[in-house]
C-alpha cells in the first residue's frame, strides 16, 4: 500500500482520544424507534476529526472522564452514543483521498443534504451510471475499485480496494457484521490467477463465524467488481 494512503487510513483505526489510539466503531443510521430514525452525530458519515470532536463533546456533557477509560470502554461509549462510521462513509473518504472530488458529476442518491458524503450510499456508488463492471480476474483489479456485498437481501455494503500485490489484494471497509468491526482492512489471497476474485481465499469472517465471502460472492457474480467513472481515466 502507498505510504500516504496507509497513513491516511490510520486516522480511522487509531483516532487520538485522551492520549489513546481508538479504532472508530461502526454506526449506521438504520435503526428506528416509534417510527422515527435514530440519528447519530454526522449520521455515520463524519470525518475522523468530526468523530473525535463529537466524542469529546458528548463525554464532557455527560461528565465522562475519557482519560480514565480503556480503549474498549471508549469504543463502547462511542457506540452507545451512536458515534461511528458506516461503510459508504468510509468508502467515500478513501475514494476522495485517492481522487479528490471524484464525486463531482456523478449521480447522487435521493436526499436533500448538501454534503456529498451523505448522497453516495452503496447503491449510488455501484449503479450503472456512476460505475461499470470490470473483468473479474486478478490482473484487471486496481486500487480504488469497489467490491459490493449484501448483508441483507439487497446490495447494502461496499469495500474499497486499497492495495494490489502479486499474491494478495487488500481491501478496506467499515462493518458491523464482521468479527473486526468498524473501519478496518482485510485481505484476499491468490490461489489461482485464472479464477475470478470470488474463487480466491477470503479469510475474513462474520461474527456468526461464517465467511464474509458468502455475503460477497452472489453480488460479485451479478454485478461484478465496480470501477467509478472518474477512476477509469489515468
Domain ranges of the chain: 3-80, 88-231
On whether the CB atoms of residues 145 and 225 are closer than 8 A, the answer is yes
How many CA atoms does the CB half-sphere of 118 hold within 13 Å? 11
On whether the CB atoms of residues 118 and 142 are closer than 8 A, the answer is no
C-alpha cell at 36: 422515527
- The residue whose grid cell reads 475499485 is 145
Is the pLDDT confidence value at 30 over 80?
A: no
Give 36 or 116, the one with higher predicted confidence: 116
Is the pLDDT confidence value at 233 over 90?
A: no
Distance of alpha carbon 7 from alpha carbon 1, whole angstroms:
10
User: Parallel, antiparallel, or unpaired: how do β-strands 157-164 and 168-175 relate?
Assistant: antiparallel
Length of the chain: 234
DSSP 3-state assignment of 30? coil
A 10 A CB-CB count for 77 gives: 20
Q: Residue range 21-34: average pLDDT?
A: 78
- pTM of this structure: 0.94
Q: What is the pLDDT of residue 78?
A: 95
Q: What is the pLDDT of residue 190?
A: 96
- Point out the least confidently predicted range of 24-38, 99-113, 143-157: 24-38
Is the pLDDT confidence value at 151 over 60?
A: yes
Instruction: Give percent of the chain above pLDDT 90.
Output: 87
3-state helix, strand, coil in the chain (%, to 5): 35, 20, 40
Q: Residue range 111-121: average pLDDT?
A: 90
CA-CA-CA-CA torsion sign (65, 71, 73, 76): positive
Nearest CA-CA partner of 77 in 56, 95, 91, 96: 56
DSSP 3-state assignment of 177? coil
Q: What is the pLDDT of residue 41?
A: 75
211: left (phi over 0), alpha (psi -120 to 50) or beta: beta
* pLDDT band (50, 70, 90) for residue 43: confident
Give 184 or 28, the one with higher predicted confidence: 184
Q: What is the pLDDT of residue 152?
A: 87
* Residue 145, C-beta contacts closer than 8 angstroms, at least 6 positions apart: 134, 160, 161, 225, 226, 227, 231
* pLDDT band (50, 70, 90) for residue 28: confident
Q: What is the pLDDT of residue 31?
A: 53
Q: What is the pLDDT of residues 50-95, one digit of tens each?
A: 999 999 999 999 999 999 999 999 999 999 999 999 999 999 999 9
Say what the alpha-carbon torsion angle 208, 213, 214, 218 is, to the nearest 10 degrees. 150
Q: Residue range 25-45: average pLDDT?
A: 72
Is the pLDDT confidence value at 130 over 80?
A: yes
Averaged confidence pLDDT in the chain: 93
* pLDDT band (50, 70, 90) for residue 26: very high
Provide the H-helix boundaries in the chain.
3-13, 48-62, 71-80, 87-98, 122-126, 213-223
Is the pLDDT confidence value at 33 over 80?
A: no
Q: What is the pLDDT of residues 153-169, one digit of tens each?
A: 889 999 999 999 999 99
DSSP 3-state assignment of 219? helix
CA-CA-CA-CA torsion sign (80, 83, 84, 88): positive
Amino acid at each position: 500500500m502507498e505510504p500516504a494512503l496507509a497513513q491516511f487510513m490510520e486516522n480511522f483505526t487509531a483516532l487520538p482520544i485522551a492520549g489513546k489510539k481508538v479504532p472508530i466503531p461502526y454506526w449506521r443510521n438504520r435503526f428506528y424507534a416509534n417510527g422515527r430514525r435514530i440519528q447519530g452525530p454526522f449520521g455515520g458519515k463524519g470525518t475522523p476529526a468530526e468523530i473525535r470532536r463529537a466524542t469529546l463533546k458528548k463525554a464532557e456533557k455527560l461528565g465522562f472522564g475519557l482519560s480514565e477509560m480503556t480503549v474498549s470502554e471508549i469504543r463502547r461509549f462511542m457506540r452507545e452514543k451512536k458515534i461511528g462510521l458506516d461503510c459508504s462513509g468510509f468508502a467515500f473518504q478513501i475514494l476522495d483521498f485517492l481522487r479528490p472530488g471524484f464525486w463531482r458529476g456523478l449521480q447522487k442518491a435521493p436526499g436533500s443534504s448538501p454534503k456529498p458524503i451523505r448522497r453516495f450510499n452503496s447503491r449510488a456508488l455501484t449503479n450503472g451510471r456512476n460505475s461499470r463492471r470490470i473483468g473479474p480476474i486478478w490482473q484487471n483489479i486496481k486500487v480504488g475499485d469497489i467490491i459490493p456485498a449484501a448483508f441483507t437481501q439487497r446490495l447494502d455494503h461496499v469495500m474499497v480496494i486499497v492495495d494490489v500485490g502479486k499474491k494478495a489484494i487488500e481491501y478496506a471497509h467499515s462493518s458491523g457484521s464482521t468479527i473486526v468491526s468498524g473501519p478496518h482492512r482485510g485481505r484476499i489471497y491468490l490461489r489461482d490467477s485464472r479464477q475470478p476474485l470470488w474463487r480466491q481465499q477470503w479469510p475474513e469472517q462474520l461474527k456468526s463465524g461464517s465467511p464474509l465471502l458468502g455475503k460477497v460472492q452472489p453480488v460479485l457474480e451479478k454485478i461484478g467488481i465496480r470501477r467509478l467513472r472518474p477512476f477509469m481515466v489515468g
